[in-house]
Amino acid sequence: METWVQWMWLIPVLPMVAAGVSGLLPRTARGWSAGLSIGSLALSFVLSVISFAAVWQSGGERHLYGFRWFQFGPGAFGTLWLSWVLDPLSASMLVMVSGVGLLIFIYSLGYMAHDANFTRFFCFLSLFAGAMLGLVMSNSLVGLFMCWELVGLASYLLIGFWFQKPAAAAAAKKAFITTRVGDLVFFLGLVWLFGNSGTQLFYDNGSGCLEAATLNALVQQKVWWDWSLSQVIGLLLFAGAVGKSGQLPLHVWLPDAMEGPTPVSALIHAATMVAAGVFLMARVYPLLVAGPEGVVQPVLMVMAWVGGLTAVFAAAVAVAQDDIKRILAYSTISQLGYMMLGLATGGVAVGVFHLLTHACFKALLFLGAGSVIHACSEEQNIWRLGGLRRWMPVTYVTYGVGMLALTGFPVLFSGFWSKEAILHATHAWPVSAGPFWLGLAGVFLTAFYMTRQMVLVFGGTPRGNVTSGSIHESPPVMTVPLIVLASLSVVTGFVGTPAWPWLQGFLEGQQAILDWSRLFGADVWGLAAISCAAVFLGMGVGLVLYRRIAAEGVIQRDPLEQLPAGLCPALRKKFWVDEAYQHSVVPALAWLAYWCDRMDRWVWAGLMRLAACVTLVVARLSQNVDEAVVNAGFDRACEGLRLQGGRLSLWQNGQVQRYLAFVGAAMAILVSLWWWGGNR
């Protein structure tokens, strides 16, 4: 076990190396690149499973291993350690990330088969997988942040993978910058935490920043109003999570990110990367709850409200979208909101349970959507699809499983159990009932938009220009991952039911006991009945509204347009959030840039020019003074001297008489001088 932890670094490093190598490979080395990436990730997966087994064996113990990275100051505080942790949370996340990732890698083999930049794609995917694996197993906040940023980079590269499309380029930039807003606040929280507590290791045998001693110190310090330092730092970290996990108000990048290839959407923007924010919150949960016993910490309240609002908001927007991937994107945002809600109200286990189940069925849904898009010659508008169940049975069935899981269809599907857990926790939340009702509304909306999508895409008859002849089922390399994911979407639910809350127990380090009676407790089903009703209501409304339209085989107006009071445009336009940014932040920045540039060009450069002019004037002045006064005087003196010299030289004309005259004159003068001087 201990020796095993030392070798865990292989898990993220293998895909990283694969990324580095395939980055250097020529573009034609398609097989090499794909083989390397998939092989390394498979190896990572195996290692992850072994780690998972190891931690399971040891009953959820926490194992650490670290090394000194660099020294920047005196003492222990001045040493930056990097470390990784093997505990239930990281182990289960490792398995999930590498497992889902592996399936998506395999799927990409088929999906991207015809792309010119195939090798680059696998390079980026491997980079992403490595970074994400590093993120989840990191035991240091700095290491986590580094992987966090690398994940962002991989996301940037993959969204902009089809770089010739201006929309893709813009979306990539938008994603990077929007998430960077959150990242920078996160960075500040990191710096604050590190600077204040002197450590950035989560667990360090009692001196880590998530352990009692440090937490107590943090709680003691009050910063603003009544907030303790731990809460403020928690809030800053949460800002990072908001950016990465697409919570309000930084969610705008996630739908645009669908410009990337569909496997990317599945891997990054559904299953794994966007869950990094949730994971971060789960990782630092001890920090968030640190404080007096029995008091709900303010950060958790913020998280709950943000999560709940995001869940409903995104679900509502998803209702009116026409693009199959965009619907799923908003659905992802909404589900991430649920996760946050679950974390805030129910603790790590609740949130992470939904994270894991969601990873399976959202990956499934995206891959299914990709299969559809692939088959229907890149058609993404659900109004132009239809009737696909006849030609794509495997996709249809698996997509249906995913859809039912997402809506939380009772009993059989994983989404039901994880969502129930969240709703339970919300219901029991002492602070406010608001998040519960938000969650419930979200459930209804989720059921509705998924039914709408399902019916329009697979039900009825084909519409638009998608002709039946060209539609074909995807190759096995794509369908097999779908089937695997579909079965996972069912199975994962059963490890976290109230009767046998194994996963929750695992995550919290307790032994789970099978107790059927708990399954039939009144409190369970009392609440479940309400949520089931919401699900059925949503599905029913969806069926009623769209079944007939789907059957008709002609593109029709969306019945949603009959909604009252301009609600439909609001939904379609995503409540104008993008537009709001477009008209506030973007012009503000442009204005600032403009003025900074103007300042530089006119004020500072102008001052410089003014100084130059003054200097020139002074120079000209002094030049004139020089020439007219100083130089002229000197010149004249020189001229006179030369002239007189010339005249004098005439005396030296070689005539003895002249010399003699000199001698005479000189004698006369000398004698007179001598005489005169002698007489004094």
Partner 1 sequence: MDVAFGLTALITLAGAVAAVWLRNLVHAVLALAVSFAGVAAAYLQLGAEFLGFAQLLIYVGAVAILIVFAVLVTRGGEVPAGGVHAARWWVGALVALGVFAVLGWAASSLGDRRAAAEWTPMSVAELGQSLVGRWVFALQVLGILLTAALIGAVLLAWREEGNDSGTHLGGGES
Partner 2 sequence: MHSFPWLTLLILMPLLSGLGVMLWGAGRSRWTRRIAQGVCGLSGWTILALTKEVDLRSGSLQAVERHAWIPSLGVEYYLGLDGLGWVLLLLTVVVASMALGAAGEVGERPHLFDGLVLCLMAGLFGTFTAQNFVHWFLFWELSLIPAFFLVRLWGGHRRRVVSLQFFLFTLAGSIAMLLGFLIQYAGTGQMNFPELAQLAQQGRLWPQVAEVWKGWGWTEREVALGVLLAVLAGFAVKVPMMPLHAWLPSTYAEASTPVSMLLTGVMSKMGVYGLVRIFLPLFQEPLRWVWPWLAGLALWTVIASACAALAQRDLKRILAYSSVNHLGYCLLAVFALGAAGPVSGSIVHQAAALNGVILQMFNHGLTAATLFWCVGWLEKGNGGFRELDQFGGLRAAVPIFCGLMGMATFASLGLPGLNGFIGEFLIFLGVFGLAPWAAWLALPGLLVTAVFLLTMVQRVFYGPMKTTGQRWMDVDWRERTGLGAAVIVMVLLGLWPQLLLQFTHPFVMHLLAGLRL
Partner 3 sequence: MSPLTGYLVLSAALFATGLAGVLTRRNAIAVLIGVELMLNAANLNFVAFWRYGAGGPDAAGLVFVLFTIAVAAAEAAVGLALVIAVYRHYRTAHVDEVKRLRG
Judged by CB under 8 A, the number of residues near partner 1 is: 11
Establish if 475 lies at the interface with partner 2 (CB under 8 A).
Answer: no
Choice between 3 and 653, CB closer to partner 3: 653
Q: Which does 671 bind (CB under 5 to 8 A by kind): partner 2, partner 3, partner 1, none?
A: partner 1
Cα dihedral 315, 316, 317, 322 sign:
positive
Establish if 618 lies at the interface with partner 2 (CB under 8 A).
Answer: no
Choice between 603 and 673, CB closer to partner 1: 673
Stretch that binds partner 1, among 73-81, 151-159, 334-342, 667-675 (CB under 8 A): 667-675
Positions 450 through 489 that interact with partner 1 (CB under 8 A): none
Smallest gap from residue 198 Cβ to partner 2 (A): 8
Angle at 313 between CA 307 and CA 314, to 5 degrees: 90
Smallest gap from residue 110 Cβ to partner 2 (A): 24
Q: What are 166's two structure tokens?
A: 């201006």
CA distance 292 to 299: 14
CA distance 566 to 563: 7
Q: What are 184's two structure tokens?
A: 């920078």
DSSP-assigned letter for residue 79? E
Smallest gap from residue 662 Cβ to partner 1 (A): 8
Task: Determine if the peptide bond prior to 249 is cis (ω within 30°).
Answer: yes
Smallest gap from residue 675 Cβ to partner 3 (A): 14
Q: Which does 672 bind (CB under 5 to 8 A by kind): partner 3, partner 1, partner 2, none?
A: partner 1
Establish if 617 lies at the interface with partner 2 (CB under 8 A).
Answer: no
Q: Which does 544 bind (CB under 5 to 8 A by kind): partner 1, partner 2, partner 3, none?
A: none
Are 461 and 551 within 8 A, CB to CB?
yes
List of residues contacting partner 3 (CB under 8 A): 652-657, 659-661, 664
Smallest gap from residue 210 Cβ to partner 2 (A): 19
Find where tokens 């709680």 sit: 219
Q: Which does 656 bind (CB under 5 to 8 A by kind): partner 1, partner 3, partner 2, none?
A: partner 3
Establish if 581 lies at the interface with partner 2 (CB under 8 A).
Answer: no
Q: What are 149's two structure tokens?
A: 């940023």
Smallest gap from residue 650 Cβ to partner 1 (A): 10
CA distance 306 to 232: 16
DSSP-assigned letter for residue 465? T
Q: Which amino acid is at 242?
A: V
Q: What are 99's two structure tokens?
A: 């497992």
Smallest gap from residue 589 Cβ to partner 2 (A): 7
Binding mask 645-664 for partner 1 (x = CB under 8 A): ----------x-x---x--x
Q: Which does 180 bind (CB under 5 to 8 A by kind): partner 1, partner 2, partner 3, none?
A: partner 2
Nearest CA-CA partner of 254 in 157, 337, 178: 178
Choice between 468 and 672, CB closer to partner 1: 672
Choice between 29 and 188, CB closer to partner 2: 188
| Among 209, 618, 675, 677, contact with partner 1 (rule: CB under 8 A) | 675
Smallest gap from residue 667 Cβ to partner 1 (A): 7
DSSP-assigned letter for residue 549? H
Chain centre to alpha carbon of residue 549 = 39
Smallest gap from residue 626 Cβ to partner 3 (A): 39
CA distance 101 to 107: 10
Find where tokens 């679900």 sit: 315
> Could you give the angle at which helices 348-375 and 414-427 cross, rounded to 10 degrees?
140
CA distance 424 to 490: 21
> Bridge-partner residues for 140, per DSSP?
201
Helix, coil or strand: residue 71:
strand
Q: Which does 652 bind (CB under 5 to 8 A by kind): partner 2, partner 1, partner 3, none?
A: partner 3
Smallest gap from residue 662 Cβ to partner 3 (A): 10
Find where tokens 């690149």 sit: 33
Q: Which does 568 bind (CB under 5 to 8 A by kind): partner 3, partner 2, partner 1, none?
A: none
Choice between 69 and 525, CB closer to partner 2: 69
* Surface-to-core class of residue 615, CB atoms within 10 Å of its CB (0-12 exposed, 13-18 middle, 19+ buried): exposed
Stretch that binds partner 1, among 194-202, 227-235, 417-425, 671-679 (CB under 8 A): 671-679
Establish if 612 lies at the interface with partner 1 (CB under 8 A).
Answer: no
Mind giving me the DSSP string for 268-326?
Answer: IIIISTTHHHHHHHHHTHHHHH-SSTT---HHHHHHHHHHHHHHHHHHHHHHT--BHHH
Establish if 77 lies at the interface with partner 2 (CB under 8 A).
Answer: yes
Establish if 668 lies at the interface with partner 1 (CB under 8 A).
Answer: yes
Q: Which does 653 bind (CB under 5 to 8 A by kind): partner 2, partner 1, partner 3, none?
A: partner 3
Establish if 73 lies at the interface with partner 2 (CB under 8 A).
Answer: yes
Are 658 and 651 within 8 A, CB to CB?
yes
Q: Which does 191 bind (CB under 5 to 8 A by kind): partner 1, partner 3, partner 2, none?
A: partner 2
Helix, coil or strand: residue 378:
coil
Positions 146 through 205 that interact with partner 2 (CB under 8 A): 146-147, 149-150, 153, 160, 163-166, 168-170, 172-173, 176-177, 180-181, 184-185, 187-188, 191-192, 194-195, 198
CA distance 284 to 152: 20
SS (H, E, C) 184-230: HHHHHHHHHHHHHHCCCECCCCCCCCCCHHHHHHHHHCECCCCCEHH
Q: Which amino acid is at 483?
A: I
Establish if 667 lies at the interface with partner 1 (CB under 8 A).
Answer: yes
Establish if 672 lies at the interface with partner 1 (CB under 8 A).
Answer: yes
Cα dihedral 568, 569, 572, 574 sign:
negative
Smallest gap from residue 644 Cβ to partner 3 (A): 19
- The set of residues, in sequence order, having a beta carbon less than 8 Å from that of 374 and lying 6+ positions away, is 111, 262, 474, 478
Chain centre to alpha carbon of residue 625 = 68
Binding mask 496-525 for partner 2 (x = CB under 8 A): ------------------------------
Establish if 671 lies at the interface with partner 1 (CB under 8 A).
Answer: yes
Q: What is the dihedral of CA 356, 358, 364, 367, to 10 degrees?
A: -100
Establish if 644 lies at the interface with partner 1 (CB under 8 A).
Answer: no
Q: Would you tell me which residues interact with partner 1 (CB under 8 A)?
A: 655, 657, 661, 664-665, 667-669, 671-672, 675
| Binding-site ranges for partner 2 (CB under 8 A) | 23, 27, 69-75, 77-78, 142, 145-147, 149-150, 153, 160, 163-166, 168-170, 172-173, 176-177, 180-181, 184-185, 187-188, 191-192, 194-195, 198, 589-590, 592-597, 599-600, 604-605, 607-608, 612, 615
